Chain A
């Protein structure tokens, strides 16, 4: 019996040693910094505790991945030449306090502030931007967002390895940067406002290597404090921020996956703000105590059912239109989404400055749907599979809700559930007939509608229209904003008419916040991308 205990004892010792040694890191690491940074959540500090939208950010180097979960954090850590006004999505100055664009739309000259510094104290110059933008475009770094600088002179050569620098990035002096393009693009400036185009300190990147993504150093209103993976990210206000110090002392992003857990934490007072899903919106939209604590906006995400426009039966526009008429969108939004959705007219959301409120979409008209189907030769109806994820707002529950309506006119849906990764891959491979999805995420109307351009057709719905292509091309090339808006509206009208998708709804994004939180905004690009510098906590 003694031997048994010996065996047990030895084993526990071994296991303990193993666990401890693994806990201290593997062979690739420097000693874990167990140095406790100041606890920013201690009493006396104004710290905003919010949820980590889309979960753990995974990596905070802005060029490494293109996921929104990371952007929600990195946009507060990294500043760039320009930024987006949170509410209108228009381009506003950031580190470049002013800029000129030449008449032919090819030359952009940026005038930089002289009081912008990195979190490590060093002043920012035009050279830093050249370094950062080249880093983004460098094929060695394999950034999925490396296309931002497409069309800039010399970028292609740089990518091929023929040049050491991008010729089109010119440093005029320490605080003046010029970017020269080969052809105009009205959406280029907007791209420079995303975190991937943000400025990073060369010395920190070179020192940390891939660990830069886990200990980021930027120039934004907040600096990095700590990150417990899958648990929380902590940021602290940057004292020397050029716009002035942030309204709060720090932010904690808490990673919570379950909606009901978020709600419980909020009610318990542990969470100041979070992005609310439909189940929670439903409950609180008319609540006497909490109705005022909700901020809503029609986000730049259009939920839709996509049709494979090259395969029967959806190659016939009448069938596609019938699908749109057959569904009582408003009731579904009301019941299944608890009202958390703005019924879609076309593809461009109503919060865009280019939105045309005179356009008419598809009403609920099952008779018309049946007529159209009969015209197209599908009086008997047909059966068709639909790819879907399990998402509560644009997945299985919605599919189940629209099935009865479509049954009424003879369209029988067969759902195929899969996770979004697989759905997306099959989408690009063309291996589907219909699918339900949510796309968007860009503020510029031309960029937004670009998915219907034939250039992208093979990765979206295989819908081709020369007419639409022409309109969109012109919209992209013009530097006259009014003309661009006109053309965009024309394009929308055509898209609605050709119905390459079932226009479901624009996401009504909801932020629910505690009474003391002031300054959170309805951000149409994505409610997750809050500019936390302007938040204040009033007790």
Chain B
């Protein structure tokens, strides 16, 4: 399906008010800022964390509200929530990156092949894509994790498999439209190999939209991981994944809300960051849309 957006004359951009244009670039800036902070936190976690995130010093420290020794309180087993959130950044970023890596790898490959070759190959891939679209994203990942068993690596596979159709569809569309461009036909006529055409002409055109989608996809992957952990299929202990922290703390939400609130905020900010970045990237890379 074509995207339905028609071309907007260049002049109308100037017509846009000052604030939205600022907002557009603000998105990219704030988003990028958040993501950079997250990366720094992930790397510097051992330095920043006040306590050991994996093992409590004493079980008796459990259920402490935020205070001096434990700035964001402790969880059911006496572990410092702040430290766990800081180390959890590593897990979230890894989840986002690896899952999108898998989705992009699969999606781009299948999308290009389908779009370039057309014919039967296209039919097969398109049908496969449509079938995948028939499953709600989370439920498919849930089923896969149930098959494979809980654990971080299995979650990567599950979410990666759940995410490729979106990218495939996008890349296929791009491939189809680029293929028809004159310079590609010229290259074909000149005898360039398919591989050459794909890598030199088609893939670069896909880069921007895929980048945008992958960035937003990282946000989606992090949310999905939290959801799966909440449903009870989370990462293995003592890994401090934010989703499993919420899942663990949800029985105590009325009186010890810090156990769920702060990891929730962490997820929120991270997802927000990636969404803003993706949005900003889109405006930046393709201002006509």
Contact = CB atoms under 8 A, between A and B. Distances in A.
Given A399-B237, A401-B77, A415-B236, A264 B254 contact: yes
A335 B60 contact: yes
B29 interface: no
Contacts of B151: 417
B250 A258 contact: yes
Contacts of B179: none
A259 interface: yes
Nearest to B247: A390
B55 interface: yes
Interface in A488-527: none
A264 B255 CA distance: 12
Given A335-B60, A417-B151, A260 B76 contact: no
A263 interface: yes
Interface string A388-423: 001010001101110110000000000111110010
B153 interface: no
Given A336-B59, A390-B232, A400-B237, A283 B255 contact: yes
B248 interface: yes
B237 A331 contact: no
A91 to B, nearest CB: 37
A204 interface: no
B243 to A, nearest CB: 13
A392 B251 contact: yes
A459 interface: no
A401 B199 CA distance: 53
A415 B234 CA distance: 13
B62 interface: yes
* Residue among B151, B234, B238, B251 with max Cβ neighbours from chain A (10 Å): B251
Given A279-B251, A283-B255, A415 B78 contact: no
Interface in A410-468: 415-419, 422
Contacts of B56: 404
A336 B77 contact: yes
Contacts of A419: 146, 232
Contact of B250 (A260, A280, A417): A260
B182 to A, nearest CB: 35
Contacts of A401: 59, 77
A418 B251 contact: no
A452 to B, nearest CB: 30
Contacts of A416: 149, 236
B248 to A, nearest CB: 7
Contacts of A332: 59
A336 B76 contact: yes
A222 to B, nearest CB: 31
Contact of A396 (B62, B237, B255): B237
A260 B254 contact: yes
A418 to B, nearest CB: 6
A404 B55 contact: yes
Contact of A397 (B76, B146, B234): B76
Interface string B49-61: 0000001100110
Contacts of B255: 283
B280 to A, nearest CB: 34
B150 interface: yes
A259 B255 CA distance: 13
B150 A417 contact: yes
A417 B55 CA distance: 18
A258 B59 CA distance: 25
B48 to A, nearest CB: 23
Contacts of B149: 416-418, 422
Contacts of A201: none
Contacts of A259: 251
A392 B75 CA distance: 13
A277 interface: yes
Interface in A323-378: 331-332, 335-336
B238 A279 contact: no
A335 B59 contact: yes
A400 B251 contact: no
A417 B146 CA distance: 11
A263 B250 CA distance: 12
Contacts of B77: 335-336, 397, 400-401
A400 B59 contact: no
Contacts of A415: 236-237
Contacts of B248: 397
A525 to B, nearest CB: 25
Given A399-B237, A400-B237, A418 B150 contact: yes
B253 interface: yes
Contacts of A418: 149-150
Contacts of B252: 260, 279
B236 A260 contact: no
Contacts of B251: 258-260, 277, 279-280, 392
Interface string B109-131: 00000000000000000000000
Contacts of B253: 260
Contacts of A399: 237
Nearest to A400: B237
Contacts of B62: 335-336
Interface string A171-213: 0000000000000000000000000000000000000000000
A223 to B, nearest CB: 35
Interface in B219-244: 232, 234, 236-238
B228 to A, nearest CB: 12
A331 B250 contact: no
Nearest to A263: B254
A264 B253 CA distance: 11
Interface in B11-65: 55-56, 59-60, 62
Interface string B152-190: 000000000000000000000000000000000000000
* Residue among B56, B78, B146, B237 with max Cβ neighbours from chain A (10 Å): B237
Given A331-B59, A404-B55, A417 B76 contact: no
A143 B60 CA distance: 47
B144 to A, nearest CB: 14
* For the complex of A and B, 4 pairs with smallest distance between CB atoms: A279-B251, A335-B59, A259-B251, A417-B150
Given A264-B254, A397-B77, A418-B149, 12 more contacts: A259-B251, A280-B251, A331-B59, A332-B59, A399-B237, A400-B237, A400-B238, A415-B236, A416-B149, A416-B236, A417-B234, A419-B146
8 contacts: A258-B250, A260-B253, A263-B254, A277-B251, A336-B62, A403-B55, A416-B236, A417-B149
Interface of A: 258-260, 263-264, 277, 279-280, 283, 331-332, 335-336, 390, 392, 396-397, 399-401, 403-404, 415-419, 422
